[in-house]
Amino acid sequence: MNVDFSLILVIAVFVTGTIWLLDKFIINRSKKPDQIKDGKQTAIGSVWSMLAEFSRFLFPVVFIVLFLRGFIAEPFRIPSGSMLPTLEIGDFILVNKFSYGVRLPAWNKKVIDIGSPKRGDVIVFRYPEDPSIDYIKRVVGVPGDKVAYYDKVLYINDKPMLQGKETVYRPGYDYIVRKSENLGGVVHDILDNKMYPARDFVITVPEHRYFVMGDNRDNSRDSRVWGFVPDENLIGHAMIVWFNWELGDWPRWTRIGTLID
């Protein structure tokens, strides 16, 4: 079950804010002066007072968290290897929430248009087939682009994206190689599994849609399988790895501070 933490924060802000405002501007003003002075109150009044005091303390806390998480930056954890070698399993990353427009928390409705994803951007988005799940991939095609894939070489508008020299990714796995790819000026590394055949295709990206792929090209469920990412599904631009920890293993301290290119 996927929990929408943003929705929980929105509800918490609404509930605590409502209770605090009711107590401050209605309940307290309706009390008689002698009740306030003597501190006389019923059992229900006592419970309400505790609830109001708790809300007064909690409201600014959840409001600040909602603002930072909803409009500035949001943390995510990488659960799979589809973005290897750029992102490793267990990476905790920060995502810039305003790179592609200011959006309402929980509803993800864009209210201020700031910018759009560019080729090479690593983006977090709501999975088109199940918006309750967040995905992370690299943008390889923007609206209007002709995207082609021949013999595991990416072509954008009929121009090949140059690849660098191949090196074995891990000892003992000679069939998995690592190489660089120049995606329109964004140079990043990808993985190629020589045991997997090429899955050639040609496609044109429609308006307000994006074509995305994982850097682990032969082990990624991406736009080649389920299609384009709609603009309304965008969450933000992945910026930096701030921690790494996988259950049953030690934290990989060298990952901290890794910029996501």
Residue 78 CA to residue 94 CA, distance in Å, equals: 11
Through-space distance between the first and last CA atoms of the chain, rounded to whole angstroms: 31
Inter-axis angle of helices 43-67 and 5-22, nearest 10: 130
Give catalytic residues, as residue numbers.
Answer: 82, 137
DSSP state of 131: T
Residue 26 CA to residue 129 CA, distance in Å, equals: 46
* CA quadruple 136, 139, 140, 141: dihedral sign: positive
* Neighbour count for residue 90 (Cβ, 10 Å): 18
Residue 4 CA to residue 82 CA, distance in Å, equals: 23
Instruction: Report DSSP letters for 199-219, one per residue.
Output: --EEEEPPTTEEEEE-SBTTS
* Kind and range of the H or E run holding 52: helix 43-67
Cβ neighbours of residue 35 under 8 Å, at least 6 residues apart?
41
Under 8 Å between Cβ of 118 and 220: no
